[in-house]
């Protein structure tokens, strides 16, 4: 993986690392994912994280690469896409995970079953930095 090259990249990586803590403060979202156990790769394209999810909680979030670590699916987006997605009122076309894949700013790969079976969960988990990030960049 390359090193983070600019302020947006650094801010996005920092915001991503805070997602497990945000999730712990959102019990309704943990409850939504209560049947989910999954290893996945999430984050900015150049600096994704391996996420271990158990009964809706992110119990481990480790920057990739990790030697021989497997994942079932990956959702990776450009740092600019995450920064746009996390605005308090995202711009049209930058406001949804699948809007980002449609416009080619994000990539969804692997075995998509856990992602699709818990689609609203992942949309909300990956939006958790929104309030704080919007404040950070303003």
80 binds another protein (CB under 8 A): no
95 binds another protein (CB under 8 A): yes
Closest distance between another protein and the C-beta of residue 99, in Å?
Answer: 4
Residue whose C-alpha is closest to residue 137's, from 14, 4, 2:
14
101 binds another protein (CB under 8 A): yes
Cα gap 18→7, rounded to integer Å? 17
137 binds another protein (CB under 8 A): no
Q: Residues 28, 67, 68, 92: which binds another protein (CB under 8 A)?
A: 92
For residue 14, count other CB atoms closer than 10 A to its CB: 14
Closest distance between another protein and the C-beta of residue 114, in Å?
Answer: 10
Cα gap 126→97, rounded to integer Å? 9
14 binds another protein (CB under 8 A): no
Q: Report CA torsion sign: 135, 107, 6, 68.
A: positive
For residue 30, count other CB atoms closer than 10 A to its CB: 18
Closest distance between another protein and the C-beta of residue 98, in Å?
Answer: 6
Cα gap 54→33, rounded to integer Å? 9
102 binds another protein (CB under 8 A): yes
What does the binding site for another protein look like in residue numbers (CB under 8 A)?
A: 89-90, 92-93, 95-99, 101-103, 112-113, 116-117, 119-120, 123
């Amino acid at each position: 993986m390359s090193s983070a090259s600019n302020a947006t990249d650094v801010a996005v990586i920092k915001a991503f690392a805070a997602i497990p803590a945000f999730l712990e403060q959102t019990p309704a979202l943990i409850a939504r994912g209560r049947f989910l156990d999954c290893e996945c790769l999430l984050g900015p394209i150049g600096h994704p994280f391996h996420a271990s999810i158990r009964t809706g909680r992110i119990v481990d979030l480790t920057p990739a690469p990790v030697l021989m670590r497997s994942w079932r699916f990956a959702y990776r987006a450009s740092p600019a896409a995450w920064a746009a997605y996390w605005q308090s009122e995202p711009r049209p076309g930058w406001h949804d995970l699948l809007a980002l894949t449609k416009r080619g700013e994000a990539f969804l790969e692997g075995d998509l079953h856990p992602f699709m079976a818990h689609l609203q969960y992942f949309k909300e988990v990956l939006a958790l930095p929104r309030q704080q990030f919007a404040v950070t960049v303003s």
